[in-house]
Amino acid sequence: MNAQPGIQGFTGTKPQTVMSFLVQPCGVVAPHNHANAVEVNTVIKGKGIIAQLTTNTNKLQISMVEEGDSFVFAEGAYHWWMNLGEEQLVTVGVFTNTDSPDAALVAFDDGKGVIGSLMGDMSLLNLLVGKSSGAKTTVDLQDGQSPLFPQLTASHCEKARQQFQSLGSSWQTVGSFQKNPSGTSLYKASELQEGKFEISDDSTPLKGPGGGLRPLAGVVSNADKPPGSESTEYDGGLTPTKNGGGPPAATLWPGFTNLADGKALVKFVVGYCGTVAIHTHVNAAEWNTVISGEGQVSYYQVNTGVDPQLITINVKKGDTFVFPKGSPHWWVNYSPTETLATIGGFTAPFPDTSLLAELFSQTNAIFPSLTDAVLGDDFKATPSSSELFPLLTTRSPSDCGGNVPCRRCF
């Protein structure tokens, strides 16, 4: 696990810890829980089996996850992972509402965890948990290795694979809240495998010429509902209308909104020579981790008095960046042949989005004297002023950009 606690930019909202996991073939993330954080992950490579015990029904939820799938572990819920595949399982995610997630190991590995602490009173351990031969089925830990990440020996891994195949498909929990529903993955497996990211109706429901996004948020189903806030009446920011008490749109993941005080998960794809226009989120900070491509992101600091107030960062694959709550920010992809793709989130279930260009465009339509005074005489709004994902006007040829590769962007 690579965790990035205490990332600056979450002023005015609860902190977050962005992290990534790598689980080797035959690797395990041992049973544990986080008393102070909800955990959310999106798979960017490989497959794995994940499970958690619901905190109010004591029913085990088990799911298979693969490229593009997102999954959530409720605050305080015991959970584990296992990789029985032939390739690495890699995820990008976040521990919500904390800059230091508590982790309590509840399995036994080389004397660690809750089980290890009870080894001195075997009768009590047998009474409260059960009995075993005590024979190890995992590779011995080396100095500095964590008992949170054991690995099955080759023989026991093969045995586990055979047992898994014999189960068929009946082991998966139907309709589990912990995994996004079928057809709502942030990324298609083919996008992650081929490195080609689409800007289309099914891939990015909210889109423009230069890019698009897919939000995943919604309400938790009544079945096995983990503790959380009341259901929201909004549909995830795709439209400003209420649902009238009905379920959220199919694009939304009903398992994240009512956890961790409400958060949103999001996919961004910024196309060739594409941009994300200057905008703010008055109710949310935003974080993103780059999984493909590179670009330049900027934000204007709010009420800091720091000189300079404009912060500009060049980001590439593996980098994480944060836009503070309420700060005007924008993105630019200067590559004519590579998209910029990220996995990220907001610290509100449905972030309000306010376009700066709309302020000037609509003001200019009624009071041009005002815009002339603050922007210069004879101000005229650009045709793309209402577009969240405009294209660079300097691109060549003029009909390229977005999903169509260019010769150059400037």
Does position 100 have pLDDT exceeding 60, yes or no?
Answer: yes
Phi-psi region of 146 (alpha: psi -120 to 50; beta: other; left: phi over 0): beta
Residue 10 amino acid letter: F
124-135 pLDDT, tens digit each: 888 988 888 888
**Could you write out the DSSP letters of every residue in 326-387?**
T--EEEE---SS--EEEEEEESSSS---EEHHHHHHHHHHH-HHHHHHHH-TT----TTTT-
Q: How confident is the model at residue 109 (pLDDT cuts 50, 70, 90)?
A: low
pTM of this structure:
0.89
Percent residues over pLDDT 70 in the chain: 90
Q: How far apart are the C-alpha atoms of 369 and 377, rounded to whole Å?
A: 8
178-215 pLDDT, tens digit each: 898 888 899 999 999 999 999 998 899 889 999 999 88
228-281 pLDDT, tens digit each: 334 444 433 444 344 444 444 545 676 676 677 778 899 999 999 999 999 999
Does position 317 have pLDDT exceeding 90, yes or no?
Answer: yes
Largest pairwise CA distance in the chain: 86
Q: How confident is the model at residue 353 (pLDDT cuts 50, 70, 90)?
A: confident
Task: Return the SS3 of 166.
Answer: helix
Q: How many helices (H) and strands (E) does the chain have?
A: 6, 21
Q: How confident is the model at residue 220 (pLDDT cuts 50, 70, 90)?
A: very low
The more confidently predicted of residues 374 and 248 is: 374
Does position 306 have pLDDT exceeding 80, yes or no?
Answer: no
Average pLDDT, the chain: 87
Residue length, the chain?
410
* Most confident among 112-121, 163-172, 260-269, 284-293 (mean pLDDT): 284-293
44-96 pLDDT, tens digit each: 999 999 999 988 788 999 999 999 999 999 889 999 999 999 999 999 999 99
**H or E, element range at 289:** strand 286-292
Residue 262 tokens, joined: 């409400």
Residue matched to tokens 């047992």: 163
Strand arrangement, sheet containing 104-105 = 60-66, 47-53, 79-82, 28-33, 104-105
CB 395, CB 401: distance < 8 Å: yes
Q: Which CA distances in Å does 322 have to 298, 300, 301, 311, 330?
A: 10, 12, 12, 11, 12
The per-residue pLDDT for 56 is 78
Choose among 253, 248, 249: nearest CA to 232. Answer: 248
Q: How confident is the model at residue 110 (pLDDT cuts 50, 70, 90)?
A: low
Percent residues over pLDDT 90 in the chain: 60
25-44 pLDDT, tens digit each: 999 999 999 999 999 999 99
Name all domains of the chain by residue range, CATH numbers in brackets.
2-166 (2.60.120.10), 189-375 (2.60.120.10)
Q: How confident is the model at residue 393 (pLDDT cuts 50, 70, 90)?
A: very high
